[in-house]
Structure 1
Amino acid sequence: MQTSTKYKLYVTSAALAVGCTVSYMIYKRRKRRRDAAELFDYLTINTVTTEQTCDQVVAELKRRCQKHRALGFDCEWVTEKGKRQPVALVQLSSYDGYCGLFRLNAMETLPESLKDLLEDETIYKVGVAPADDGKYLCFDYSVMMKSTLDVRHLAELGGFEAGGLATLSSALLGAVLDKSWRIRCSDWEAKELTKSQVKYAAIDAHVAIRIFAMLLEQLGSKRTVLSWLFGTNGTSVWSHLDDYCSMYADVHYKMKPVKLKDGSKEKHSKTREPAVLSKRYTHSTRTKPLYNNCYLEAPDGELLCTCDQKKAYWFVNKELADVMKEDPLTVRLRFEPAGRSMGDVGRYYQLKKENKCVVCGSTNSYIRKNVVPREYRKLFPEIMKEHSSHDVVLLCTSCHQQSNMRDLAMRGRLADLCDAPLATGVRNGSSKFLEDAVSKKIKSAARALRHQCDKLPEARRKELEDILLQHYPEHDEITEELLEEASNITVLYENSEYESHGAKVVDYFLNHEGLLRLEEMWREHFLSSMKPRFMPELWSVKHNEERLRVKWNEGRLSQEHLKSIGLTTL
């Protein structure tokens, strides 16, 4: 038998042995499930209500998580009349059971030590849907969380069915969590938390880090077996933590039902979706090159810029230019352009652009990213909208999602600075549309009577009919025409006092620091939050200022232009 064949048999046998061992361990846990409160009675729980205590607990958490570089993470809040209130409690737990319960509602401000920990990208914050909790912390406290990790990614990677925290805890740890609505929906803003609340909150965070560690150890065991078989130096999984986790950092895990051929929805699939998507326009993932790097020349042959093929042929088809070369496509204008490339700001447009993610370098697929979001740029004067391609870069799907998540913190800071509330319902901001509670009640009653009348108890049906007859006193009885009219009653109406977040931010900078500064802040935010390694050469934070200064020196910029961007001089 050949050596390679023996190795294959060894590998197969070892992999089967590891799989059987892990399966047996999980089977044993399932057979002897225990109450989580009993199983994790060793927890050291610290309830934090002051900044001084916060600093001490954060320091201890950092010390204890040096090996795993991860903390169990969860948040709690109160919902009143269907509206989520600001996050009241942040739970963090180390693997060895040291838990910090940070009562944000009891503190005047979010302590810097806690903010720094949550924004530390070297420490993973693990749980089920932690990115969603991070989004709420961003809205409520302007925390730009980094390195959240949904343990369901690792569960799927390890071949397990990815359920909620309670399901994973029961299946993998043999621990049964208390998920009754009485504790989940209790008052997390109470002056004092009950013992049940404290225990529940700490266990949720601790279970997350235990599941994370168990799944990583299992994935690492396969690597160790292979290293032993082939004589390589086997190292701990914790030495290669980022190999397993970095690709899932700040990436949502979403289960979607998949329709089978028979129409059922028994299977599920994982999808990764950007955290912030327009309701009208979805982001389009590109697999074809965005940059064709065609050349556009002035009449004397001087290179003006690179452009895409469509734009190049537009000039040709309009008889405004001639094709000088097919490969690479080079088009020469028949007219003198308004301006020519000057200095580095001009050279930027002459350089070839690479079709890859500017953050990680991926070339498989990419999405356009507006470094300065459209909700602000669309309100800029025309003089600043020219050459906006400078602020359009390519990101892969994962990096695009992370960037959108981290943009929320920047929006939050602008909201506070410019007194421009985000229309999210959680920052007490104004809304473009207001809801008429009475009309909503009438519409709901009419629809229930139209579609569920036969299933309603007699008392409930009578109650709904009374609601309608009180609103329509001219009617003596419920008719089909009345139900149809009430079902289509207007519930939302436009708020005449509404002013969009984007408009208020642009107006603030127009009257204070100038719109160039707003642009620069978004560019600085992108560089600091994403740390891109493959940005185009000569890409500059002050690009527009440099471009406008060239125009000013050439006499192509007036005082009215400067006034329109909030400046008096350049």
Structure 2
Amino acid sequence: MNTPSKLQVGLTSAVALGFAGITYFVLKQTLKLKNTSDIIDYLVIKIITSEESCEEMVQELRRRCTQHHAVGFDCEWVTEQGKRHPVALLQLSTYDGCCVLFRLSHMKSFPKSLKDLLEDESIYKVGVAPGDDAKYLAKDYSVHLKSTLDIRHIVELCKYDTGGLASLAKMFLGVVLDKSWRVRCSNWGADELTERQIQYAALDAHVAIKIFVKVVNDYHRSPLLLLWRRNNNEHWNKIHQMCSKYLDICFKTKQKVKKKTTEYKDKDRKGAKEIFSKKYPHSTRSKPLYHNCFLQAPDGELLCTCDNKKAIWYVEKELADIVNKDPLTVRLRFEPAGRSVGDVGRYYQLTKENKCVVCGAKDSYIRKNVVPREYRKYFPEIMKDHSSHDVVLLCVECHQTSNMRDQPVREALARRCRAPLAAHDAGKLLEDKDCKKIRSAARALLYQSKKHVLPEARRKELESIILQHYLQHDVITQELLQQAAEIQVVYENADYESHGYKVVEYYLEYEGLLRLEEEWREHFLSSMCPKYMPELWSVKHNEERLRVRMNEGRLSEQDLKLIAL
């Protein structure tokens, strides 16, 4: 019996490994191609061109997305000569392949059932940069999307590289999307869409929901479908906990806050506290908002809690004495204007936590004015007192989310009160386009260098622009160029009235400012669903406070008229 040599064994092993490698490569490519083919073939694409046919398909989308609480979302429009036309096509897709293309440019009005779906907070609209599409839908059709989710947030959360939809589709699904400019920039408002346009639009929406589910699967390390069959609500809560902080947040502007610790010492109070970097435009607080010091009346009755600075101010002005150092408690030497009455008074006596009132985060927070300052600054003084009730703490992400969700309310107020927002109408400052053209021409002539001399034809053209304005001059001089280069381009709009001022004027005349406050408080509660609001925080807080003052005879006739009690 011949025993194979070591060389023969080695060659046999090498050949076997080679064939295994080739087989693996072929199978990998075959599976990849099959995956690409499958994702196109199983789609059921419906094209909707009328409001009448919309209702049935919206109900079908709602039925199919109950497990995932999400739909893939995208929009297409036509741009001509740099000008964007209204959104022509809106695409929605469920995870199981039901893809509906709504041809908005062919409809007489925006279907109510579709509007309700897009504004439904319980259903995520997932895609890449869905916030941009949401802005266009709001502008074109007054549809205010809620719960948009840029999938790049969770891709980044799971430690993957982020990119455009095409690169994400290739990375996660093995799908190569058609991103040719010929189809991307084609006529989406045409009488009939081509097969290539239909496939492009459908895949953009469907791929988004497929990536969303895959990334969430990877994050939880278990198949969604199996978990959904076991306990749909339990797994949905996990997904919502993972994604909710990214809803309606633009990926590009998301800020990362670095933490660093240091120590500071308050007067009569020692201890190490955390402070945070100020990369966020509305910088996170370096000190706690609530110090929970106590302020007492001369007889020892508790009036309210306050911060260290206020408490020490009373002591330094010899208006109060320190009666306890931990917690810092000061007692007034004079009788205050009023005492705490009822729940409205007890609110100011309660200690408050330094944490986000929405999610409970304690590592960083920013002051949030529930009633925006752009309105409150025009309130009468009687309503500006005790405004701390409407200042709460939010973490950076919740603060961003809240600000974005405030925008539809501002736009609704702008329409109701005929108070245009600055972006939609002439603002406080106006720009004179003719003067800007003259200034640009003068600066081009004035600052040309020896190495970069303007062509003769261009130089004459610019000189003509300047001389047409300065008719008393026949020739261009250095002094004239200097004067033209400094010409005023921006000036105040004499007819300008701020949005906030006009809204306050409207409520003063028709509904009362207390109602405006209540609407903003109701909006904050419904849009953010805060879990950690201070105890006794009330939508009708100011009304209750002012009624106490009225019953004590501390309001004038003018005050009563202004607040319309």
The correspondence for 1:241, drawn from 223, 239, 242, is: 239
Query: Matches of residues 91-170 of structure 1 in structure 2 within 5 Å?
Result: 91-104=91-104, 106-107=106-107, 109-138=109-138, 141-170=141-170
Distance in 1 (CA, whole Å) between partners of 2:28 and 2:542 is 64
Cα displacement string for residues 400-455 of structure 1 (whole angstroms, at most 9, x for unaligned residues): 11111111111121112111122224xxx333333333334444555666778899
Distance in 2 (CA, whole Å) between partners of 1:239 and 1:388 is 35
Give the match's secondary structure for 1:271.
coil
Give the match's secondary structure for 2:153.
helix
More deviation, 196-205/500-509? 196-205
Match of 1:432 in 2: 428
Write the letter of the residue equivalent to 2:335: E
Give the match's secondary structure for 2:368.
strand
Match of 2:378 in 1: 379
Write the letter of the residue equivalent to 1:314: W
Q: Is the 8 A contact 1:34 1:175 kept in 2?
A: no
What displacement does 1:188 show? Answer: 5.0
Cα displacement string for residues 212-253 of structure 1 (whole angstroms, at most 9, x for unaligned residues): 2332333344x57xx9xxxxx9x9977843343234333332
Match of 1:524 in 2: 522
Q: Is the 8 A contact 1:291 1:354 kept in 2?
A: yes
Distance in 1 (CA, whole Å) between partners of 2:478 and 2:43 is 62
Distance in 2 (CA, whole Å) between partners of 1:161 and 1:374 is 39
Query: Matches of residues 47-58 of structure 1 in structure 2 within 5 Å?
Result: 47-58=47-58
More deviation, 124-133/487-496? 487-496
Match of 1:338 in 2: 337
Query: Matches of residues 182-197 of structure 1 in structure 2 within 5 Å?
Result: 183-185=183-185, 197=197
Match of 2:360 in 1: 361
Match of 1:8 in 2: none
Give the match's secondary structure for 1:102.
strand
Cα displacement string for residues 54-91 of structure 1 (whole angstroms, at most 9, x for unaligned residues): 22221111122233322111234456776766545432
Distance in 1 (CA, whole Å) between partners of 2:34 and 2:431 is 47
Q: Is the 8 A contact 1:291 1:353 kept in 2?
A: yes
Q: Is the 8 A contact 1:369 1:400 kept in 2?
A: yes
Distance in 2 (CA, whole Å) between partners of 1:297 and 1:82 is 65
Q: Is the 8 A contact 1:33 1:176 kept in 2?
A: no
The correspondence for 1:534, drawn from 513, 532, 535, is: 532
Match of 1:317 in 2: 316
Distance in 2 (CA, whole Å) between partners of 1:464 and 1:48 is 56
Matched, 1:560 2:550: no
Return closer, same or farther for 1:445/1:312 CA change in 2, 3 Å cut-off.
same
Q: Is the 8 A contact 1:34 1:174 kept in 2?
A: no
Match of 1:408 in 2: 407
More deviation, 553-562/138-147? 138-147
Q: Is the 8 A contact 1:469 1:476 kept in 2?
A: no
Match of 1:18 in 2: none
Identity %: 62
What displacement does 1:357 show? Answer: 1.3
Return closer, same or farther for 1:352/1:100 CA change in 2, 3 Å cut-off.
same
Distance in 2 (CA, whole Å) between partners of 1:370 and 1:253 is 24
Matched, 1:471 2:466: yes
Q: Is the 8 A contact 2:367 2:392 kept in 1?
A: yes
Q: Is the 8 A contact 1:450 1:483 kept in 2?
A: yes
Q: Is the 8 A contact 2:357 2:531 kept in 1?
A: yes
Distance in 1 (CA, whole Å) between partners of 2:460 and 2:33 is 50
The correspondence for 1:503, drawn from 493, 501, 504, is: 501
Q: Is the 8 A contact 1:357 1:396 kept in 2?
A: yes
Q: Is the 8 A contact 1:371 1:523 kept in 2?
A: yes
Give the match's secondary structure for 1:350.
coil
Give the match's secondary structure for 1:424.
helix
Distance in 2 (CA, whole Å) between partners of 1:465 and 1:35 is 63
Q: Larger RCO: Structure 1 or Structure 2 (Cα < 8 Å, ≥ 6 residues apart)?
A: 1
Return closer, same or farther for 1:31/1:393 CA change in 2, 3 Å cut-off.
same
What displacement does 1:369 show? Answer: 0.7
Normalization by structure 2: what TM-score?
Answer: 0.79
Return closer, same or farther for 1:550/1:159 CA change in 2, 3 Å cut-off.
closer
Match of 1:266 in 2: none
Distance in 1 (CA, whole Å) between partners of 2:108 and 2:357 is 39
More deviation, 63-72/325-334? 63-72
Matched, 1:399 2:398: yes
What displacement does 1:51 show? Answer: 3.1
Give the match's secondary structure for 1:73.
strand
Cα displacement string for residues 155-207 of structure 1 (whole angstroms, at most 9, x for unaligned residues): 22333321122332333334444445555455656676666554443332222
Cα displacement string for residues 450-474 of structure 1 (whole angstroms, at most 9, x for unaligned residues): 7788999987x83465134333357
What displacement does 1:121 show? Answer: 2.8
What displacement does 1:104 show? Answer: 4.3
Match of 1:11 in 2: none
Return closer, same or farther for 1:556/1:348 CA change in 2, 3 Å cut-off.
same
Distance in 1 (CA, whole Å) between partners of 2:49 and 2:446 is 52
Return closer, same or farther for 1:380/1:483 CA change in 2, 3 Å cut-off.
same
What displacement does 1:331 show? Answer: 0.9
Match of 1:308 in 2: 307
Return closer, same or farther for 1:29/1:505 CA change in 2, 3 Å cut-off.
farther
Return closer, same or farther for 1:368/1:509 CA change in 2, 3 Å cut-off.
same
Which ranges of structure 2 fall in alignment gaps of 5 or more residues?
1-23, 258-279
Return closer, same or farther for 1:508/1:316 CA change in 2, 3 Å cut-off.
same
Write the letter of the residue equivalent to 1:48: I
What displacement does 1:139 show? Answer: 5.0
Return closer, same or farther for 1:157/1:526 CA change in 2, 3 Å cut-off.
closer
Distance in 2 (CA, whole Å) between partners of 1:28 and 1:147 is 37
Distance in 1 (CA, whole Å) between partners of 2:299 and 2:343 is 21
Cα displacement string for residues 462-520 of structure 1 (whole angstroms, at most 9, x for unaligned residues): 34651343333577887776666555444333322222211111111111011111001
Distance in 2 (CA, whole Å) between partners of 1:354 and 1:520 is 24
Write the letter of the residue equivalent to 2:417: C
Give the match's secondary structure for 1:166.
helix
Write the letter of the residue equivalent to 1:333: L
Which ranges of structure 1 fall in alignment gaps of 5 or more residues?
1-23, 228-232, 256-269, 274-280
What displacement does 1:97 show? Answer: 3.0
Distance in 2 (CA, whole Å) between partners of 1:382 and 1:388 is 11
Write the letter of the residue equivalent to 1:271: Q
More deviation, 368-377/552-561? 552-561
Give the match's secondary structure for 1:340.
coil
Distance in 2 (CA, whole Å) between partners of 1:132 and 1:112 is 22
Q: Is the 8 A contact 1:356 1:363 kept in 2?
A: yes
Write the letter of the residue equivalent to 1:435: E
Match of 1:285 in 2: 284
Distance in 1 (CA, whole Å) between partners of 2:371 and 2:538 is 13
Q: Is the 8 A contact 1:372 1:522 kept in 2?
A: yes
What displacement does 1:286 show? Answer: 2.4
Normalization by structure 1: what TM-score?
Answer: 0.78
Return closer, same or farther for 1:148/1:465 CA change in 2, 3 Å cut-off.
farther
The correspondence for 1:514, drawn from 505, 512, 515, is: 512
Count the aligned residue pairs. Answer: 509
Write the letter of the residue equivalent to 1:343: G
Return closer, same or farther for 1:158/1:341 CA change in 2, 3 Å cut-off.
closer
More deviation, 59-68/352-361? 59-68
Write the letter of the residue equivalent to 2:383: M
Q: Is the 8 A contact 1:469 1:478 kept in 2?
A: no
Q: Is the 8 A contact 2:128 2:152 kept in 1?
A: yes
Return closer, same or farther for 1:534/1:218 CA change in 2, 3 Å cut-off.
closer
Return closer, same or farther for 1:58/1:468 CA change in 2, 3 Å cut-off.
farther
Distance in 1 (CA, whole Å) between partners of 2:496 and 2:326 is 53
More deviation, 380-389/94-103? 94-103
What displacement does 1:136 show? Answer: 4.3
Give the match's secondary structure for 1:52.
coil
Match of 1:549 in 2: 547
Distance in 2 (CA, whole Å) between partners of 1:455 and 1:102 is 57
Write the letter of the residue equivalent to 1:356: K
- Please, what is the CA RMSD of the aligned residues? 3.8
